[in-house]
Chains A and B, each alone.
Chain A
Amino acid sequence: MARTNLGEFEETILLMVAILDGEGYGVTISQALEEHTGRVVTFGTVHNTLIRLEEKGFVRSELGGATNERGGRRKRMFQITAYGSRTLREAQQLREELWRLVPPNALKLGGI
């Protein structure tokens, strides 16, 4: 089994990028994270994770058009790469396989 270099938080952020499907940038990703997982993290965490994900080749980004609401500043839009989506899929598959291996009773609380 090839070890993918994807941490738990990274995976979540990557999933957000996938969910937003081309609409993902710092703001939307932070909001989606909060909305779907209830996790509130600093913007720096999201920002750093996105940079790391890009360094690892899971996402690619480009500076999008400037909008007025941002005072003319451009957004960096993120998109999942083929490699990123494969890695996500593999992580999911691995989990499903592992779930299948769990004996039916193992997760029941003892005695109940």
Chain B
Amino acid sequence: MTPKAPTPLRPVGPRWAKRLLRWLHPEGTLEEVEGDLDELYAYWHHRSGKTQATLRYLLNVVSVLPPFVRRRKRKEEYLPTHNLTTAMIRNYFKIAFRNLIHSRAFSLINIFGLTLGITCSLLVFLVIYHETSYDKYHKNADRIYRVETVNNTDADAHPGTYTELGDVLKDAPEFETVVPVWNEGGRGLSIPATGDFFKERIFFVDPDIFQLLDYQWIAGDARSALSQPGQVVLTESYAKKFFGTTNALGKTIHYDNKQDLQVAGVLKDYPLNTNFPFDVLVSLATLKRVNSDYDSHGWTGFGDNYQIYTLLKPGFRPGQLEKRFHDIQVKYQQDPKTVENQRFILNPLSEIHYAYNLSGRQANARLLDILAVIGAFVLLIACINFINLTTAQALKRAKAIGIRKAVGSSRLSLIYQFLTEAGLVTFLATVTSVLLAGIVLPSIAGMMGLPLKAEDLFTWQTGAFLLGLMGLATLLAGVYPAFRLSGMSSLWALKSNRLPQGERSISLRKGLVVLQFTVSMVLVSCALLVNRQLSFFQNADIGFNKNAIITVGLPENNPEKLHLFRTQLMESSQIKDLTYSFNSASAESNWMQGIQYRENADIREVKTQMKMGDSHFLDTYGIQLLAGENLRDTDTLSASSKVLANEVFLQRAGISSPEAAIGQKVYFGDGSQFATIAGVVKNFHVNSLHQKIDPTLIQVVPRHFYQAGIKLKSEKPTTETIHTALALIEKSWKKTFPNQVFEYKFLDDTLAQAYQNETRTAQLIETSTLIAILIACLGLFGLATFAAEQRTKEIGVRKVLGASVTSIIALLTRDFLKLVFLAGLLASPIAWYAMSQWLQSFEFKIEISGWIFTLTILLMAGIALLTVSYQAIKAALMNPVKSLRSE
């Protein structure tokens, strides 16, 4: 047989053989093998004719049928689909942008909501980061401790301790450095060269402080500075303040008109996050010269103004020092009762910011926790919005997704697509957040009393946090829609949008809405309760009158000067009364003393608060006298000393009635001195309302008068009368105390300071509540829009059939209101629990009443109604012709 010329139609092998091949050959390699065999057939056909070709073809087909054929391993059956090539990524972004722009309203709601959420988290981060960064920068921070004195009976730790303990510890082998710090608040400094005078907080320290804490020197030397009496070290900005230059070495400052101080060094300003805001450091050796009361070998009493900081030698843990401290107590305190009642502990530097410290600001660890929770909540609500809106919206995109799936887009590439969209929205939100945070940071910092600045937004830590947050928000907000939507069957998606499969996602969406509103409502009820507690604080009857009282700190208590100051002021018609005292009727710092009341052989020890005040104390503060008579200025501490007691004191001492108390004796300390109760006053709050009323004695002790309380004539003074009164007080002050800085405070302001923490908590909760409600409502608005759109046809049909506008509005809002009420039921117990925990820290507090929760639910229902009704009304008013026409 001669080979045929190749026909224009390509010769093909027998069909049945081909069918056999298709049927039996492994799928993965079918295409190539079929092609190859076809080509070979044509070649054989060309070379040796049809019969030969057919025979060889059959033989070869058999050779690629099982069991002869080798299967290509599954992995290589397909080429791996590359979803993360640059081209694909560009495509993800392109489509993400298109979708973003296509559904502008939803995108804006998403971005806006996320912006709020991220801004909240960012601000919370900044606050917490700042509060936890205190004093971390010192080289030896992990070895620095403060020696604190603990009262075993009530487990109160006092930051202060005995003055001699410093010297004693210096000999102990465990301590590398021991630095006593004496804090003297508000002393007068004058600059002889210029004649300026200042009132500053002074810290008396040893040069060892420079071994303990890290300082940078501008002038002077860490070793010699502060080693001699009469030396002072200033910070850069204080050198400028005093002398107008940082070149202040060797210049003179006059201390309290008593002592010359030579500037021995200038330090670089300390960072803001330190608990040691030391601007004026004077050598400890100077202290004895300016303060005759200072006893450097004191073991009898201690105050918070004397603190000891130490650097433990490497390898020692504070717990190992119990025995050492006990030995010191036995050796020096001697009195076995004191040894039993007290102990010393070492408090690490890292803890000092959360309790009493010298910066005058302490972080409230609980407030930080609350903040972190709120930040997380707000972010969560924002992410829930994203999830809800995206899944709701996806029903509209179902066709697009269905087509993509049908043409073979892998699930992974769809997931990447959704994550890209989430990432894009998150990114835009983050950028806006940083801007927004920059704008609101000053007011937040003011509210929290924190030295936060816009620069804090641009540290690498903030950057890292934001990156992490972006990742988290993207995942939180993107993963669910990504998996849910990419998992839709393309058949359903292409067939119709009638939501058969949507059922599940709708109930999840409902659940998330309930969660959002639960969180918002917890916050709302908390805000209401915190506010009620605050107004309770502000309006509570504290037993004395805090209005129209100006307090002025006294630089000295020389009786003639005090008398002069009084006579000058009492001449004025503006001023009603004036009292000299240790502190005001209610104050943060108090004087506690053990007082004995003896009834026959029965000795009762009463831990009592001492109020040192003159005869005008009761009148000025409006404290009521129940029995007996007021003190006289001549009743000074002596054998015939007289005191006033409050009702709590009588109760503790076991005295039955105010009348019975008159003439009774109370004994001070060791019992050798006593005073007679001359009168009984009605209870007044000597502390803030966080605490119980202490047993209190009022006594005239002129050498402990540190404050003047000035009561104005009018109860509700106008700005003008206050102004004239202040001018008058200042004038008299200048005459009486020349070269002293005049500073005044309003008592009601001072007392309000005690509730600063609560005020802050309230402000924070209020702000975050507003944000949470806003975000939740945005979400609701979005969902309502979606629901209205979905049901356009239904509404049209209903209207055509005669449904009223109201019934349609009800139809659309009912579902959402149900969710809000459900959320209310969930939120109430949570809020009740949280608030009863919070209220436990107050001695005087409000009752949690049920109407708060009812109010919250009604409030939120109202807000939800308002949010939804816009869409509902719009849908209800729509012309059915329009909604029914299109298909």
Contact = CB atoms under 8 A, between A and B. Distances in A.
Contacts of A73: 31-32, 34-35, 38
Interface string A13-43: 0000000000001110011000000000011
Contacts of B33: 26, 43, 47
Contacts of A30: 36, 40
Nearest to A44: B63
Contacts of A51: 29, 70-72
A69 B10 contact: yes
A66 to B, nearest CB: 8
Given A26-B36, A52-B70, A74 B63 contact: no
B276 to A, nearest CB: 67
Contact of B63 (A25, A45, A70, A71): A45
B63 A43 contact: yes
A70 B59 CA distance: 20
Contacts of A48: 68-70
B865 interface: no
B337 interface: no
Given A42-B59, A42-B63, A43-B37, A74 B69 contact: no
A62 B70 CA distance: 18
A10 interface: no
B42 interface: yes
Contacts of A71: 10, 34-35, 38
Given A63-B79, A71-B35, A73-B34, A47 B64 contact: yes
A54 interface: yes
Contacts of B32: 25-26, 63, 73-76
Q: Name which of B36, B37, B38 has the most chain A CB atoms within 10 A of its CB.
A: B36
Contacts of A27: 36, 39-40, 43
A47 B38 contact: no
A75 B35 CA distance: 7
B76 interface: yes
Given A42-B60, A47-B70, A69 B42 contact: yes
A44 B39 contact: no
A55 B64 CA distance: 18
B73 interface: yes
Nearest to A55: B73
Classify the interface of chain B: helix, strand, loop or mixed: helix
B48 to A, nearest CB: 12
Contacts, number: 78
Nearest to A45: B63
Nearest to B10: A69
Nearest to B40: A27
Contacts of B76: 54
Which of B35, B64, B73 has the largest count of A CB atoms less than 10 A from its CB?
A: B35
Nearest to B12: A71
Nearest to B36: A26
A73 to B, nearest CB: 3
Interface string B71-110: 1110010010000000000000000000000000000000
A43 B36 contact: yes
A43 B64 contact: yes
Contacts of B29: 47, 51, 76
Contacts of A69: 10, 39, 42
A63 B64 CA distance: 19
Interface in A61-100: 62-63, 69-71, 73-76
Contacts of B31: 63, 73-74
- Interface-central residue, A44, A52, A69, A76, by most chain B CB under 10 Å: A44
Contacts of B60: 42-44
Contacts of B36: 25-27, 30, 43, 47, 70, 75
B240 to A, nearest CB: 72
A17 B32 CA distance: 17
A71 B60 CA distance: 19
Contacts of A76: 29, 32
Contacts of A54: 72, 76
B82 to A, nearest CB: 13
Contacts of B38: 70-71, 73
Nearest to A62: B79
A47 B69 contact: yes
B753 to A, nearest CB: 77
Contacts of B43: 27, 31
A74 B35 contact: yes
Nearest to A68: B10
Given A63-B32, A63-B79, A74-B32, A44 B64 contact: yes
A43 B43 CA distance: 13
A34 to B, nearest CB: 10
Contacts of A52: 70
Nearest to B71: A51
A44 B79 CA distance: 23
Nearest to B32: A76
B242 to A, nearest CB: 78
Contact of B35 (A31, A42, A62, A70): A70
A47 B72 CA distance: 10
Contacts of B34: 71, 73
Contacts of A45: 63
Nearest to A71: B38
A35 to B, nearest CB: 12
B18 to A, nearest CB: 10
A44 B35 contact: no
Interface string B330-355: 00000000000000000000000000
Nearest to A60: B76
A86 to B, nearest CB: 22
A98 B73 CA distance: 37
A85 to B, nearest CB: 21
Given A43-B60, A48-B69, A70 B39 contact: yes
Nearest to A73: B35
B76 to A, nearest CB: 7
Nearest to A41: B63
A30 B15 CA distance: 23
B45 to A, nearest CB: 13
B27 to A, nearest CB: 14
A75 to B, nearest CB: 6
Interface string B33-62: 111111110110000000000000001101
A81 to B, nearest CB: 14
Contacts of A74: 31-32, 35
Interface of A: 25-27, 30-31, 42-45, 47-48, 51-52, 54-55, 62-63, 69-71, 73-76
Given A42-B62, A43-B33, A47-B36, 19 more contacts: A25-B36, A27-B39, A27-B40, A31-B43, A42-B60, A42-B63, A43-B64, A44-B64, A47-B70, A54-B76, A55-B73, A69-B10, A70-B36, A70-B39, A71-B10, A71-B34, A74-B32, A74-B35, A75-B36
**A-B CB proximity, top 9 nearest:** A44-B63, A73-B35, A26-B36, A42-B63, A70-B35, A43-B60, A48-B70, A76-B32, A44-B64
10 contacts: A44-B69, A48-B70, A51-B70, A51-B71, A62-B79, A69-B10, A69-B42, A70-B36, A73-B31, A76-B29
